[in-house]
Amino acid sequence: MINPMIAANWKMHKTIPEAVAFAKQLKEKFPKPGDVDIVIAPPFTALFPVVEVLKDSPIHVSAQNMHWEEKGAYTGEISAAMLVDAGCEFIIIGHSERRTLFGETGGMLNKKIHAALKSGLKPIFCIGETLEERESGATFRIIQKQIKEGLNNIISDDIRKIALAYEPIWAIGTGKTATPPQAQEVHSFIRKTIATDLEYDRASEIVIIYGGSVNPENTDSLMNQPDINGALVGGAGLDFGSFADIIKISER
């Protein structure tokens, strides 16, 4: 049985004191391992302080981005080894904002995933279509292309370490959410694509989470879908009360 994952992507929000205060509240609220894997992704500046707060707790820390090279003349970039050194366990790769605002391609993301796995980080690999692509009937083609490019040459032993996050771009930060049947349809397609195109015979065990204006009001209906194993939470993940409610709703 898959343990649900609820992850908060804070994006470019929270100072170090704000991040530490949130982490302390979260540790106090969820001091022991439960039925949900809790992940928070602070900005780079707050990673190490948050890791220090969450030591000896079941809550995991993720970075929001990384470079694929181990070191070198890459001003402003962070390597996987640096993130591991800071105490990160997870890494978000391929968020739509990285694709659309910073021009990250499938090939670049594939190199990041390989580098993350080599360093022991667990990728949360984001995929999703634009509103124009959905309305033109291209959703499945886009999703399949993103999976095949991003997970190219990933061996079976490593595929199981990757969580996929379906984030329809048209639902991120817009207040719009894919209906549970819409989200389930794509999640089911993702699982089938992993099984067929990647020839992975344990696709039923892969964690696939949904992201796109997730909040306490829609969490239950989304989590009741058979192929939705959790959520990548944006705005609601910045508010402790909302994020804690989403976690509680997701518990079995």
Please choose, from the candidates 5, 40, 1, the residue with its C-alpha nearest in 3D space to the C-alpha of residue 223: 5
Q: In the beta sheet, which residues pair with residue 164?
A: 125, 208
Residues of the chain with pLDDT under 50: none
Q: What is the pLDDT of residue 252?
A: 73
pLDDT of residue 176: 74
The pLDDT value given to residue 173: 72
- Top CATH class of 5-250 equals alpha beta
- Give the pLDDT confidence score for residue 175 in this predicted structure: 74
Give the active site residues: 95, 167
Q: What is the pLDDT of residues 8-22, one digit of tens each?
A: 999 999 999 999 999
Q: Are 205 and 187 in contact (CB under 8 A)?
A: no
